[in-house]
Amino acid sequence: MDEIASATRVTKRTLYQHFESKDALLAAVLKENHELSIMAFKTFSDRMTGTASEMINSLFEGLIDWADTPRFAGSGFTRLAVELADLPGHPARTIARRHKAILEAQYAEFFEKAKVSNPQELAREVALLIEGTMLMMLVTRDRNSALAAAKAANKLVRLRS
């Protein structure tokens, strides 16, 4: 909190008048990040059309593009949930969980539009592949992780056809 107060040029007392604790500040930052992230995803997803396979390819191509940005650090929501793993009731974990659920629901909507059987189940599977892909690209910096995950997701689509 000392560093944040210094960086924002306010006193620590002023900071605590706005946020009752470090946890409350962290939750507020994550909530704002969630809203920005969902808006950015909506901008990206509004352009997604076509078959389920075309949508999947777009999702994983988007991940590759994101991973190619200079400061790629994967999902902050995942990193934070891992960091707070021993605090299951932490408000930031609640926000991260909600964020992931909203993204999964978005995937299900894509697959429903593409007339895939059991779109919620496919959305869960694709969400898991995306999550694993983000982690692998963060660790290895190898875009082939996204290509392999897209291939696996497309196999799941063919199983439903």
| Domain of 153, in residue numbers | 22-159
With 0-12 / 13-18 / 19 or more C-beta atoms within 10 angstroms meaning exposed / middle / buried, residue 31 is middle
Alpha-carbon separation of residue 148 from 33, 34, 111, 132, 133 (angstroms): 29, 27, 20, 11, 9
pLDDT at 45: 82
Calpha distance 1→40 (Å, rounded): 29
| Residue 9 located in a structural domain | no
CATH number at residue 110: 1.10.357.10
Residues 137 and 74 sit within 8 Å (Cβ to Cβ): yes
134 assigned to some structural domain: yes
52-90 pLDDT, tens per residue?
999 999 999 999 999 999 999 999 999 988 999 999 888
**CA–CA separation, 85 and 58 (whole Å):** 31
Give the chain's domain count. 1
Cα–Cα dist 76/79, whole Å:
5
Classify residue 7: in a domain, yes or no.
Answer: no
Strand spans (E) along the chain: none
Q: Is residue 98 part of a domain?
A: yes
- Alpha-carbon span 150 to 155, nearest angstrom: 9
User: Residue 145: which of 157, 134, 158, 156 has the closest Cα?
Assistant: 134
Low-confidence ranges of the chain (pLDDT < 50): none
Assigned domain for 82 exists: yes
